[in-house]
Amino acid sequence: MAVDKKRKNTKAPASGPKRRKTQQPSKQIKRPVSVDALAWKTVDIPEMFDDAEGFFGLEEITGVDIVKDGDVVKFMAAVPKSEAEVEDDGEEFGGFDDEETPKPAENADQEVETSESKAEAASTPAKEKKAPKDQKKARKNEKTTVEPRDPELETDLFTKLEELPEPEEEEIDMSEWVPLDLSPRMISSIAKLRFSKPTVIQSKAIPEIMAGHDVIGKASTGSGKTLAFGIPVIESWLSAAETTKQNKEERKGATALILSPTRELAQQIRDHLQALCKGLPTAPYICSVLGGMAVQKQKRQLQVADIVIATPGRMWEVMSSDNSVLASLRNISFLVLDEADRLLKDGHFKEAEEIFKALDRPPVEENNEDQKMGGTDEEGQEEEEEDSEEEEEEEEEHVNKRQTLIFSATFNKNLQQKLAGKSKFKATSTQDMEYLLQKLNFRETPKFVDANPVHQMAENLKEGLIMCGDMEKDLYLYATLMLQPTRRALVFTNSVNSVRRLTPLLENLNLPAFPLHSGMIQQARLRSIDRFKANEGAKKKNGSAAILVATDVAARGLDIPDVDLVIHYHVPRAAEDYVHRSGRTARASNSGTSILLCGPKEAVPTQRLVAKVHAQAEVKAGNSGNNTKKLVSSGLRTIDIDRRIVAKLRERVDLAKKIADAVQAKTMGGKEDDWMKKAAEDLGVDYDSEELEKAGKWGGKGSSKKQKQKEAQQMSKGELASLRAALRDLLSKRINTGVSERYLTGLDVSELLKGEQGLFLGQVDGLGLDD
């Protein structure tokens, strides 16, 4: 039997465990084990499925019985009885994770019925803890040993797990949650997350949702919107589960469908809700339905899911191909649209609209194949007309059961006025949020909950702007990163190509940079986020903190801890993108900085952006570099990086760029050549790239760029190696900034690189980062 870890609350009892060849069934006993303490093993996905992104991180377990006792699900792990099999290394139990030292599962007592083990725990003295060195050895042994060997030891380990006291945590005063009328188990679960008080949006939205209203919630980035809808959704599941149990009824399908515009955000919402549920005695099964996962597997998961978090494209694909999936979602109590305004963009809306329609459509008679979802058959339509009145009633009844919740940090101004009841809805295009709202079949006029009516940006965010030449952005990016090397930074660009170019450029400059864009397979996307989160490479690369170079795919919702700095390499195309990008820092009452690199040509769009984002700012005219101080008078402040220091960094950046271009041109050049050969073959002409280029047939408009690419491509290995050596030499040198600089006194960038000082921008007039 293989059980997906994500299905730890699987409701049906599972069949008996497979026994391994070496196991002696008669000599084994089984005990309840915390789900986190089981020997989960990562499932190796064959390389050919590298693109099967959803399998990433899939784990399996064998030899475990799942037993359901009332509402409690126990995981029974095999424990051998024979001492004869024991090797006396003291730790050779294979029942724990391959990679990690066994540790007490958080809330293990709540996830598993443990009275038996607790009784034993009381009577068995705990063994002394092993020294770290021994633990290392034990871990090594665990990797090679699969089967549990020593019953005594085994018992002892379980005992240890049960016995180990919960880490001592300071009592936390939860009184500020009381007015929200949550159940005690929910409050204790929130307490385990150490959230002592609700955020503004949580205080305002939770009571409205719990009172059964449809809600549109607006609150700044990082202000806890996920739990603002997550807490009531889970509360609702808890009380429904209790009723079902008391009345001995069958489960009625999923409680909630949450739609998210990006895969990463969907995964994050799932993790966030799962973290909340960890502290509950029984928890809903939460699954995510994302592009890149095997559709069949998702269908199976959906049959038992209580809360579904999905991207619209994949959800519609699964839903439209299987009526049973739709049936399991038909009775949802909540439809949630997170980052609702983004759902309209990037072609998401069509699928989202189909999902809404399908949810509202009355159930189809099983024997009437013609009327299945999406069916356009005339006969079916006639029959539909005949029964229309009846169905309309059913539909109304059906729709009225569901609450609709919409959340975002950005709603356009007109819409906000309309939501506040000040004017009437009138959608002008399908990209319009009003169009979405009209399609949503609210069961009442939704309550508009606006947690931050005046400011759009996070409270503790500081915003700065650096003016630079259009061709100097790489240089200023590097300077900005260098001058605050210990700040974990997220660099946003407007194109995938820029991410592809900048990441190796920064790497050449010895900075730990990771890419993230929609052209990457999901597995690689998740890997980059994980490496950024882990601040990987920071130690190797002179203490510089990790850098994520991303397109707007990372702009929405991502909650990565300790991002201190957001740099907009390009001015974002829309004001809301600026809000969301900047919102990756200064989250949950932390502070953070957002810096926009602005070329002369971008000054006008920047003015517009500032006017939108900081409505009350006095934006003065001016679009030249010299007028930057006039450009923005509040909200964004200009930062005058000392240009003499920047000049000293130029040589490094130029070299790093040359190397990155050469490497990229070599990779791309091969591909381009292949393409041209094939095109020539198709045309029946001889391929001679030089001749063709001379004749201008392949060169066209961008031929000077092509010429540069060609030069880069033709760079010999030796030339490349000498460029690398020159850059290495430069990077090892200190940069003397002098003592008479305006903003730096005796400060040198090499010192900053070591992370000993990172205050340069803080000392610059205007931004006051160190306040």
Ligand X SMILES: Nc1ncnc2c1ncn2[C@@H]1O[C@H](COP(=O)(O)OP(=O)(O)OP(=O)(O)O)[C@@H](O)[C@H]1O
CA 545 to chain CA centroid, Å, is: 20
Q: For binding to ligand X (CB under 6 A), which residues are involved?
A: 195, 198-199, 202, 219, 221-227, 409, 557, 559, 583, 587-588
To the nearest whole angstrom, how small is the minimum distance from the Cβ of residue 586 to ligand X?
10
Residue 482, amino acid? M
To the nearest whole angstrom, how small is the minimum distance from the Cβ of residue 19 to ligand X?
42
CA distances from 520 to 6, 249, 266, 489, 554 (A): 25, 46, 17, 20, 13
Select 275 or 731, whichever has its Cβ closest to ligand X: 275
Residues in a beta bridge with 449: 217
To the nearest whole angstrom, how small is the minimum distance from the Cβ of residue 203 to ligand X?
9
Select 526 or 554, whichever has its Cβ closest to ligand X: 554
Burial class (CB in 10 A: 0-12, 13-18, 19+), 550: buried
To the nearest whole angstrom, how small is the minimum distance from the Cβ of residue 230 to ligand X?
8
DSSP 65: E
Using alpha carbons, select from 668, 598, 675 the residue that is nearest to residue 632: 598
Using alpha carbons, select from 37, 24, 99 the residue that is nearest to residue 64: 37
CA 610 to chain CA centroid, Å, is: 27
Q: How many CA atoms lie within 13 A of 430 on its CB side?
A: 9
Select 206 or 468, whichever has its Cβ closest to ligand X: 206
To the nearest whole angstrom, how small is the minimum distance from the Cβ of residue 195 to ligand X?
4
Select 276 or 545, whichever has its Cβ closest to ligand X: 276
To the nearest whole angstrom, how small is the minimum distance from the Cβ of residue 737 to ligand X?
37
To the nearest whole angstrom, how small is the minimum distance from the Cβ of residue 507 to ligand X?
28
To the nearest whole angstrom, how small is the minimum distance from the Cβ of residue 446 to ligand X?
18
Using alpha carbons, select from 466, 485, 486, 462 the residue that is nearest to residue 476: 466
Select 588 or 685, whichever has its Cβ closest to ligand X: 588
Select 264 or 474, whichever has its Cβ closest to ligand X: 264
212: left (phi over 0), alpha (psi -120 to 50) or beta: left
As given in the structure block, the two tokens for residue 727 are 């850059």
To the nearest whole angstrom, how small is the minimum distance from the Cβ of residue 568 to ligand X?
16
To the nearest whole angstrom, how small is the minimum distance from the Cβ of residue 581 to ligand X?
10
Element (H, E) at 598: strand 592-598
Q: Angle CA(62)–CA(66)–CA(68) in degrees, nearest 5?
A: 175
Nearest 10 degrees: CA dihedral of 473, 479, 484, 490? Answer: 20
To the nearest whole angstrom, how small is the minimum distance from the Cβ of residue 606 to ligand X?
22
Select 547 or 554, whichever has its Cβ closest to ligand X: 554
Q: How many CA atoms lie within 13 A of 134 on its CB side?
A: 9
- The answer to whether the beta carbons of residues 610 and 626 sit under 8 Å apart is no
Q: How many CA atoms lie within 13 A of 422 on its CB side?
A: 7
Using alpha carbons, select from 437, 417, 419 the residue that is nearest to residue 427: 437
Per-residue 3-state assignment (H helix, E strand, C coil) for 389-400 = HHHHHHHHHHHH
Select 223 or 523, whichever has its Cβ closest to ligand X: 223
Select 280 or 660, whichever has its Cβ closest to ligand X: 280
As given in the structure block, the two tokens for residue 598 are 């602005």
Select 106 or 394, whichever has its Cβ closest to ligand X: 106
As given in the structure block, the two tokens for residue 288 are 């995510």
Using alpha carbons, select from 396, 270, 254 the residue that is nearest to residue 333: 254
Select 95 or 583, whichever has its Cβ closest to ligand X: 583
